[in-house]
Structure 1
Amino acid sequence: MAGQKPPRQDRQRRPNKGGGHMQKRKPQAKAASSGAAAERGGHKPVQKPAQKSPQRATQGAAPKVSRETASATARQVSATILETRPWDDYALVDMGAGQKLERYGPYRIVRPEPQAMGQPLLPQADWDKADAIFSGNTDEEGPGRWRYQTPLGETWPMAYRDIRFHGRFTSFRHVGVFPEQAAHWDWMIDRVSQSSRPLKVLNLFSYTGVASLLAAAAGAQVTHVDASKKAIGWARENQELSRLTEAPIRWICDDAVKFVAREKRRGNTYDGILLDPPKYGRGPKGEVWQLFDGLPDLLADCRDILSPNASFLILTAYSIRASFVALDMLMQDVMANRGGQVESGELVLKAETGGRYLSTSLFSRWQGGQG
Structure 2
Amino acid sequence: MDLKTPLYDAHLEAGGKMVSFAGYTLPVQYKDSGVIKEHLAVRNQVGLFDVSHMGEVVYEGKDALANLHYLLTNDFSNLEVGRVRYTLMCNENGGVIDDLLVYKCSDEKYLLVVNAANRAKDVAWMKEHLFGEVAFSDQSDQFVQIALQGAFAKEMIEKRTKEEEIPKKYYSFTENADVGGVTCLLSRTGYTGEFGYELYCKPEDGIKLWNLLLETGQEYDIIPCGLGARDTLRLEAGMPLYGHEMTEEITPLETDLNFAVKMKKEDFIGKKALIDKGEPKITRIGLQLTDRGIVREGADVYFNDKKIGQTTSGTMCPFISKACAMALVEKNSVEIGSPIEVEVRGKKIKAEVVTLPFVKK
Shorter-chain TM-score bucket reads under 0.3
Relative to its length, the structure with more strand (as a share) is: 2
